[in-house]
Chain A
Amino acid sequence: MRDLAVAVSVGLLLALSLPASAEAKPQVPAGPPAEMVAIPAGVYRPLLPISPAEAEVAVAAFWLDRVPVTNADFLRFVEATPAWRRDRVGRLRADGRYLEHWAAPDRLGPEVIADAPATNVSWFAARAYCASRGKRLPIEREWERSAVDLDATPAAREAARAQVLAWMLTPGKRSLRAVGQRAANHLGVHDLNEVVWEWVDDYGAALVPLDDRNRGDDDRQKFCGAGAAKASDPTDYAAFMRMAMRSALSASDASGMLGFRCAKDAPS
């Protein structure tokens, strides 16, 4: 009994001496920082699977930024890392339109919405930004897995597609607006498919329909519909658009409608 009393008082002392935050800590693996959301492991169905075995691709759990990186965020990065100013970066890593919408290399100016997604950012610059935050760009399967709800009801899927198409029909800069203004999707992620196109780290893996060793199969591409007949869901127009977008990109491209957000491996 005395032992118990000692144990209790020691416990009380410990509890009192520990800062409040430590109480919530035990064993539970750390969650993502506030600006990110934990995306559970899931699957991605590539639009044009390379082989039947890859019709459904497993995607490990990871963390994804809730919103795209904004002009204000990117300005802070450029201030901290002047090598990424538009007047200092090499053309190998960013073409001539890199950050061209800013008033000056170190100033957004009145025309730029600070909380709108940072656009005119090349793949190299996006990678560098994410690395500076201890993050990385999401890969295609992660991005798609976060954007497309495979469990959605047909009606919900239809609504989601209508929304994407509505965005695509909005002319250029008019759709640029502050991030996080619209409802999050089923996973808690904002602005996917609603404000800008977004970089994925493996954009260079998109749409490689033919390897040189398969050149004999070239005919497959010449026949109307041959490619689409193999598509996992030929009605998913937005997914075709994203695939085509990625396949047309080069690493130094900066485009006024192309932004990015960062991801991070979930701790295992």
Chain B
Amino acid sequence: MRTLVKAAAIIVGLGLSVGCQSKSSPPPPPPVPSTHEEPAPAVGERPSEPLPPLGDASLYELDATLVDEAGTPRRFDDFRGRPVVISMFYSSCQTACPVLIEELKELVARIPAERRDEVRVLLISFDPERDTPAKLRELFAVHRLSAPTWRLATAQDDTTRELAAVLGVRYRKLDSGEFFHTSVTTVLDANGVARARMEGLRRSPDPLLDALAAMPGPEQPPTP
């Protein structure tokens, strides 16, 4: 029902928008089919795409297979055991995606040196057709990305859709071959549980860095 409340809140906003400009009168808004009481967002607020709540489930439950920049099939949960910063993109995107990559580079640079080697940055492309392993390897050169910290990968369409679903990324392939998408960066802990998430670009990465800092480091062998 929570979803219905959200939907109703959004539609009330949209409905009023219609009323403002439309000459025909729209039908009255239907009552929210719920008894759940939750404050509706202020009218006129931009309807945003709400991110799903951070659950405590491991994203590795997805059992997804990726193909990395070397063309090697790789299980998503190969990343288990270390913190992972994960986002989605596509390489022919000329605008938002280079910004995303630059921002992630800045994020990596701000991770304390002793923790940096442990972290992986995984970028999954929406566009397996055009983002061949060769194309992804090119990006390493173009953006001066360093292995093994950076991993660029694609997946089959079905898997891509599931990954986007659990990451809260909304996307649509346009007939032009471009992708309309939201930028969401998620920090996964060693077990694949999402600990922080940021939507949009040009935001402070502090919550992501805080989440990384809060994670226990790799297990040290017990000192005698």
Contacts and interface: CB of A to CB of B under 8 A. Distances in A.
Interface of A: 50-51, 53-54, 57, 90-93, 95, 123-124, 165, 168-169, 171-172, 201-202, 204-209, 211-213, 215, 218, 221-222, 224-229, 231, 234-235, 237, 240-241, 244-245, 247-253, 255-258
A212 B182 contact: yes
Contacts, number: 173
Given A50-B172, A91-B55, A208 B14 contact: no
B177 interface: no
A92 B33 contact: no
B59 interface: yes
B44 interface: yes
Contact of A92 (B34, B57, B175): B57
B158 to A, nearest CB: 9
20 contacts: A50-B180, A92-B55, A92-B59, A92-B166, A124-B162, A124-B165, A168-B30, A171-B31, A204-B170, A205-B180, A207-B170, A208-B181, A208-B182, A212-B95, A212-B99, A212-B183, A221-B46, A227-B14, A228-B20, A257-B33
Nearest to B174: A50
B188 to A, nearest CB: 12
B166 A202 contact: no
Given A165-B30, A171-B33, A208-B182, A240 B15 contact: yes
A54 B175 contact: yes
Interface in B59-112: 59, 61-62, 93-96, 99-100
A208 B168 CA distance: 12
A41 B56 CA distance: 43
A202 B157 CA distance: 11
A224 B4 contact: no
Given A50-B172, A211-B181, A212-B200, A225 B50 contact: no
Contact of B180 (A208, A237, A255): A208
A215 B201 contact: yes
Given A169-B30, A235-B26, A251-B165, A224 B21 contact: yes
